[in-house]
Amino acid sequence: MFLIPFTHHRPVSLDEVFETLAKHGDDAAVYAGGTELLLALKARVLRYEHLIDLKRVKELSGIRIEGEELVIGALATHHQIANNDLVQAHVPAYAALSEEIANIRVRAAGTLAGNLAFAEPHSDPPSLLSAMDATLILVSSGGKRGVPMREFILSDFTTAREENELIAEIRIPVTAAGEGFAYRKFGHLERPAVGASAGCVMRGGKPSYRLWFGAIGDRPLHAKEIEDAIAGVPAASLPEALPKVARDFASGISTASDLHGSADYKQHLASVLIQRALAAACEAAQSRGAANA
């Protein structure tokens, strides 16, 4: 289906972006990669008379280290993130996830910021970014604010971003010695049916764990009950301690049958994937600890 005619704007600064948004209001939308927006426009799910292309806004570009955080600019594509030396060195688990998003066409054009702003529930990044304590920096003509990733997505296609705000950057704490993260997913389509993200953090010889699910509900799901049940359990003992609590938690997840699978199938996947993700995260933590010893 063809796009409905629109006026195309190509600002070169954030000030110009906000001026254009203020002028056209609800008739305008911003985009960078446009992989999600264009599909919605073609399907007539959304309609805008003005599209604002952000690609020339230099304030939104780049990937860098600031202090103990990796900063990903809003214009960084999935492919650029996956192949960036800083990302691979400082948050390797996210580099690995980014390499597996959708297909090469989506990775080449689509941006992480656009993915998060659209908040499609069957998405890879949100659960791992939540486990990694990432923060989104939102900007508007009135200033900027930070929103933790775990609080950003409110429900299907709904976020904490105000209408006059843009995601400027995503800040991810650098994975330190003794820390490891991993993401595991399964799906028969390009979007995951279920995703599971895990973190293993060693402090003073004692482990703590971070466990999040994605794609199984309308927003990332924090598996705090599992975290509490296995708190302090050594990684070597997880194969005995984790399976039952993972199954019990997964069986209580509220989900729906859809083209990605039945509800009980997704619950089973959640139980299996969280165990695999945590095993990989613990292995990464041990490896990173040894490498930095």
Q: What is the 3-state secondary structure (H, E, C) of 47-104?
A: CCCEEEECCCCHHHCCEEEECCEEEEECCCEHHHHHCCHHHHHHCHHHHHHHCCCCCH
121 pLDDT band (50/70/90 cuts)?
Answer: very high
Number of Cβ within a 10 Å radius of residue 259: 9
Fold category of 7-52 in CATH = 3.30.43
Number of Cβ within a 10 Å radius of residue 140: 17
pLDDT of 189 reads 83
**Contact assessment for residue 197 and residue 131, using Cβ atoms and an 8 Å cutoff:** yes
| Residues ≥6 apart with Cβ < 8 Å to 48 | 6, 27, 28, 29, 41
pLDDT of 64 reads 98
**pLDDT at residue 291 is higher than 70:** no
pLDDT in tens, 235-264: 999 999 999 999 999 999 999 999 999 999
Of the options 3.40.50.1980, 3.30.390.50, 1.10.1740.10, 3.50.50.60, the CATH number for the domain spanning 179-287: 3.30.390.50
Fold category of 60-173 in CATH = 3.30.465
pLDDT in tens, 13-57: 999 999 999 999 999 999 999 888 888 998 888 999 999 999 999
**Contact assessment for residue 249 and residue 223, using Cβ atoms and an 8 Å cutoff:** yes
6 pLDDT band (50/70/90 cuts)?
Answer: very high
pLDDT of 293 reads 44
**pLDDT at residue 161 is higher than 70:** yes
Domain positions in the chain: 7-52, 60-173, 179-287
- In the Cβ-directed half-sphere of 254, how many Cα atoms lie within 13 Å? 2
Predicted TM-score (pTM) of this structure:
0.95
186 vs 191: CA distance, rounded Å: 9
